[in-house]
Amino acid sequence: MKNILKRLADRKSLSELEMKEAMDHILENDVTDSEIAAIMMSLVIKGETVEEIAGIAKAIQEKSHKFNKKIPNVLDNCGTGGDGSKSFNISTTSTFVIAGAGIPVAKHGNRSITSRTGSADVLEHIGMNLNLSPERIEEILEDIGIAFLFAPNVHPRIKKIMKVRNDLRIPTTFNLIGPLTNPVRLESQVLGIYRRDMTAIFAEVLKTLGRKRAIVLNGAGYMDEASLQGDNHLAILENGTITEKILHPNDVGLPTYTNDAIRGGDSKDNAEILLKVLKGEKGAFRDTVLLNAGIGIFTGGKARTIQQGVKIAEEVIDSGVALEKLELLIKLSQSSQQGVI
């Protein structure tokens, strides 16, 4: 660890293997809080490379609870948080629409860390049992095409990292790493990030992690979700190639709203918004979900274009299938006492 710290202090980048080995020591509790903080800050000062970010993600994945079933075409849809927008839970709501379109979704999420309400807070308020075993999560995913992975349960060794991250109170690589660490074998992914300068870098990381198709996006107003306020910046990974694209809501037949129009509240408020959207209520919340779900449906291969994905998302909501996915997930989680961690 001393040599790793010295190299980082000299602003020299680590290989993927070196970074992974350093993370292995951290996850085995072989290092001090001060050493973890030094690594975090050194990466910020130097600037993180694709290899370093991938090394961190792979180490966390390997030390997570194991998911062994090879369920085809699984997608994750989540953001890094940290955009300060105070929006409702957009990716969480969109997840049920994507699943309703026939794409298996392993939604990876947590309680609120940088935002007021996390995906776990909202789903728990509606009735979701968060404490399921990996085996039960896989069964539910295989059965109904959607499951929720509560990050602290599937990553039991990251508590020390989270403590140091919170103590630092300065955004580091570890504020961004969550969406990269889903332990389910994903084929595709939509990843929202509040740092526009890192969309292409994170697309490269997803390529390294084995995604066949992915979109990393930064929304108008620097949101970690696609926004109806204006231009959204996308890095699209497809067939091993990354292309960058700007997407305006008008490009896919949607109106514009300011980001203030999609502000949420506490878990009760955001749960109510989620349910209203899935029950078909129209307005800025729904249109925002249509945009984000449309991107997810395109990424998952069920639409030829994002605009077609938006149309499919509209049909899925209006048919009641998205709401049915939510109700099934809640019901199966509650009946899974034998599968509780």
What are 140-176's pLDDT values in tens digits? 999 999 999 999 999 999 989 999 998 998 999 999 9
89 marked as part of a ligand binding site = yes
The structural domains of the chain, with segments of one domain joined by +, span 1-63, 75-155+168-333
Question: Is residue 339 over pLDDT 60?
Answer: no
Among 157, 226, 211, residue whose Cα is nearest residue 179:
211
pLDDT tens profile 26-55: 999 889 999 999 999 999 999 999 999 999
Q: 75-155+168-333: which CATH architecture?
A: 3-Layer(aba) Sandwich (3.40)
157 marked as part of a ligand binding site = no
CA torsion 163→117→253→317, rounded to 10°? 120
201 marked as part of a ligand binding site = no
Look at residue 337 in the predicted model and tell me its pLDDT.
55
Question: Is residue 280 over pLDDT 90?
Answer: yes
219 marked as part of a ligand binding site = no
- Per the prediction, the chain carries an average pLDDT of 95
Judge contact between 130 and 153, C-beta under 8 A.
yes
Q: Is the dihedral of CA 134, 136, 141, 146 positive or negative?
A: negative
C-alpha to C-alpha distances, 277 to 68, 130, 225, 238, 300, nearest whole angstrom: 34, 22, 17, 30, 21
In the sheet with 75-79, reading across from the earlier edge strand, the strands are 146-150, 105-109, 75-79, 188-192, 213-218, 232-238, 241-247
66 marked as part of a ligand binding site = no
283 marked as part of a ligand binding site = no
13 marked as part of a ligand binding site = no
As beta bridge partners, residue 87 has: 263
Average pLDDT over residues 224-252: 98
65 marked as part of a ligand binding site = no
Percent of the chain with pLDDT over 90: 92
C-alpha 189/C-alpha 175 separation (Å) is 18
165 marked as part of a ligand binding site = yes
- What is the DSSP track for 198-217? GHHHHHHHHHHTT-SEEEEE
- Report DSSP state, residue 157: T
Average pLDDT over residues 3-15: 95
Residue 77 backbone phi and psi in degrees, to 5: -140, 100
Residue 1 pLDDT level (bands cut at 50, 70, 90): confident
Judge contact between 336 and 135, C-beta under 8 A.
no
213 marked as part of a ligand binding site = no
Burial classification of residue 160, based on how many CB atoms lie within 10 Å of its CB (0-12 exposed, 13-18 middle, 19 or more buried) = middle
Angle between the 284-299 and 90-100 helix axes, to the nearest 10 degrees? Answer: 50
Angle subtended at Cα 58 by Cα 71 and Cα 153, rounded to the nearest 5 degrees? 65
pLDDT tens profile 177-209: 999 999 999 999 999 999 999 999 999 999 999
Question: What SS3 state is found at 189?
Answer: strand
Please count the residues of the chain.
Answer: 341
Look at residue 336 in the predicted model and tell me its pLDDT.
64
Judge contact between 179 and 205, C-beta under 8 A.
no
Q: Which two tokens stand for residue 211?
A: 């995604």
Q: Is the dihedral of CA 205, 138, 107, 36 positive or negative?
A: negative
333 marked as part of a ligand binding site = no
211 marked as part of a ligand binding site = no
Angle subtended at Cα 300 by Cα 283 and Cα 215, rounded to the nearest 5 degrees? 80
Look at residue 114 in the predicted model and tell me its pLDDT.
62
87 marked as part of a ligand binding site = yes
Look at residue 340 in the predicted model and tell me its pLDDT.
54
109 marked as part of a ligand binding site = yes
- More confidently predicted of 166 and 279: 279
270 marked as part of a ligand binding site = no
What's the half-sphere exposure (Cβ side, CA atoms, 13 Å) at 324? Answer: 12
Cα Rg of the chain, angstroms: 19
| 1-63 has CATH 1.20.970.10 classification | yes
Look at residue 134 in the predicted model and tell me its pLDDT.
94
82 marked as part of a ligand binding site = yes
79 marked as part of a ligand binding site = yes
- What is the DSSP track for 250-263? GGGT-----GGGGB
Residue 213 pLDDT level (bands cut at 50, 70, 90): very high
pLDDT tens profile 305-325: 999 999 999 999 999 999 999
Residue with tokens 């947590």: 110
